[in-house]
């Protein structure tokens, strides 16, 4: 930096003045900027999460949609609304025919976590689901073009999950992406990861590929900024990719509206709106003088417990006495 009248600032000149430098690393196509220059390397921070992403080819995807909006709750409340499926039969009854609650697998990965949403009808449904309905409703969400092929498969005696894996595998192959090494479950079940502290990444091949990030909204603890990135494979593996810019929306906008305004309808919109529908009530409840505290399910909400413990560890480490 140039210092005007530098003879008057000998100490500053001796310090070789420049803009402060921060840590910057990349992983799976994402850029991580860390203001803590004493922080451990990113691979150490990611720990057991790092190899989990190897088979999902994130570098081959681009941001096909980007929505930023304000939500009426703290960022931690919003993040904790996703890495569990306990809520599915009641919050999302329309997908209970192909997303189960009690069959999901939750695995803490150090600070982070992995949630495998089992794609089978929930036993808590108040209705029976046959293979045809299971296939039709799941493909209506993920791969509508494969509907006729899937129904033919059923008529020919193949199992619903086997058909799903086959049409999804073929869909990627048609675009030039060969996931020959992936077992069928990778294409059928929904795999999402909680990247500590504030990102939920549904990167499994059986998901829409949406990454959610929740940030504090300035110093307001009662609202947060939510970002949705739709990380999609291009229609042609050799086609140039350009990330779509983020579109911002104020408090009160629904995800469905934001999708329609910026990118067109997406079936994720109504599902995410259901997830967000009770956040304001949760935020108010957490602050109630008569509420003794939150109790989490032992297993079904174990990733939220893991997150809270990891967060407590950070707060203890960095809660230095003020001078
Ligand atoms: Fe949900």
Taking the centre of ligand 1 as the mean of its atom positions, its distance from the CA of residue 81, in whole angstroms, is 7
Taking the centre of ligand 1 as the mean of its atom positions, its distance from the CA of residue 107, in whole angstroms, is 18
Does residue 215 have a pLDDT over 60? yes
Taking the centre of ligand 1 as the mean of its atom positions, its distance from the CA of residue 88, in whole angstroms, is 6
Taking the centre of ligand 1 as the mean of its atom positions, its distance from the CA of residue 92, in whole angstroms, is 7
Q: Dihedral of CA 230/223/78/38: which sign?
A: positive
For 101-110, the pLDDT digits (tens) are 888 999 999 9
Taking the centre of ligand 1 as the mean of its atom positions, its distance from the CA of residue 272, in whole angstroms, is 7
Taking the centre of ligand 1 as the mean of its atom positions, its distance from the CA of residue 113, in whole angstroms, is 16
For 298-320, the pLDDT digits (tens) are 999 999 999 999 999 999 987 66
Does residue 184 have a pLDDT over 90? yes
Taking the centre of ligand 1 as the mean of its atom positions, its distance from the CA of residue 119, in whole angstroms, is 14
Taking the centre of ligand 1 as the mean of its atom positions, its distance from the CA of residue 306, in whole angstroms, is 19
DSSP line for 140-172:
HHH-GGGHHHHHHHHHTT--HHHHHHHHHHHHH
Taking the centre of ligand 1 as the mean of its atom positions, its distance from the CA of residue 193, in whole angstroms, is 14
The predicted structure's pLDDT at residue 320: 63
In three-state form (DSSP H/G/I as H, E/B as E, the rest C), the secondary structure along 79-145 is HCCCCCCCCHHHHCHHHCCCCCCCCCEEEEECCEEEEEECCCCCCCCCCCCCHHHHHHHHHHHHCHH
- The answer to whether 211 and 62 are in contact (CB under 8 A) is no
Taking the centre of ligand 1 as the mean of its atom positions, its distance from the CA of residue 258, in whole angstroms, is 18
Query: Whole-structure pTM over 0.75, yes or no?
Result: yes
Taking the centre of ligand 1 as the mean of its atom positions, its distance from the CA of residue 152, in whole angstroms, is 31
Taking the centre of ligand 1 as the mean of its atom positions, its distance from the CA of residue 313, in whole angstroms, is 27
Taking the centre of ligand 1 as the mean of its atom positions, its distance from the CA of residue 86, in whole angstroms, is 9
Does residue 143 have a pLDDT over 90? no
Taking the centre of ligand 1 as the mean of its atom positions, its distance from the CA of residue 276, in whole angstroms, is 8
Burial class (CB in 10 A: 0-12, 13-18, 19+), 122: buried
Q: Which of 64-68, 138-142, 312-316 has the highest mean pLDDT?
A: 64-68
Taking the centre of ligand 1 as the mean of its atom positions, its distance from the CA of residue 226, in whole angstroms, is 15
């Amino acid at each position: 930096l140039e210092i005007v009248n530098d003879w008057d600032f000998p100490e500053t000149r001796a310090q070789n003045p420049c803009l402060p430098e921060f840590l910057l690393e990349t992983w799976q196509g994402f850029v991580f900027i860390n203001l803590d220059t004493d922080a451990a390397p990113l691979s150490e921070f990611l720990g057991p999460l790092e190899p989990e992403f190897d088979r999902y080819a994130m570098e081959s995807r681009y941001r096909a949609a980007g929505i930023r909006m304000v939500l009426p709750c703290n960022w931690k409340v919003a993040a904790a609304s996703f890495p569990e499926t306990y809520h599915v039969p009641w919050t999302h009854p329309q997908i209970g025919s192909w997303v189960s609650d009690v069959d999901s697998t939750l695995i803490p990965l150090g600070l982070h976590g992995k949630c495998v949403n089992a794609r089978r009808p929930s036993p808590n449904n108040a209705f029976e689901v046959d293979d045809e309905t299971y296939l039709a409703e799941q493909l209506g969400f993920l791969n509508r073009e494969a509907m006729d092929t899937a129904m033919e498969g059923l008529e020919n005696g193949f199992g619903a999950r086997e058909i799903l894996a086959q049409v999804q595998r073929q869909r990627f192959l048609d675009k030039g992406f060969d996931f020959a090494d992936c077992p069928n479950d990778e294409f059928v079940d929904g795999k999402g990861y909680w990247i500590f502290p504030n990102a939920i990444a549904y990167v499994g091949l059986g998901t829409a590929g949406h990454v959610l990030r929740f940030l504090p909204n300035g110093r307001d603890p009662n609202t947060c900024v939510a970002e949705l990135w739709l990380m999609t494979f291009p229609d042609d593996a050799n086609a140039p990719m350009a990330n779509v810019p983020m579109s911002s929306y104020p408090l009160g906008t629904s995800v469905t509206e934001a999708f329609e305004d910026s990118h067109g309808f997406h079936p994720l919109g109504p599902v995410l709106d259901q997830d967000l529908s009770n956040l304001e009530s949760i935020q108010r409840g957490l602050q109630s003088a008569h509420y003794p505290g939150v109790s989490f399910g032992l297993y079904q909400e174990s990733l939220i417990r893991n997150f809270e413990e990891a967060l407590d560890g950070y707060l203890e480490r960095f809660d230095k006495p003020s001078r």
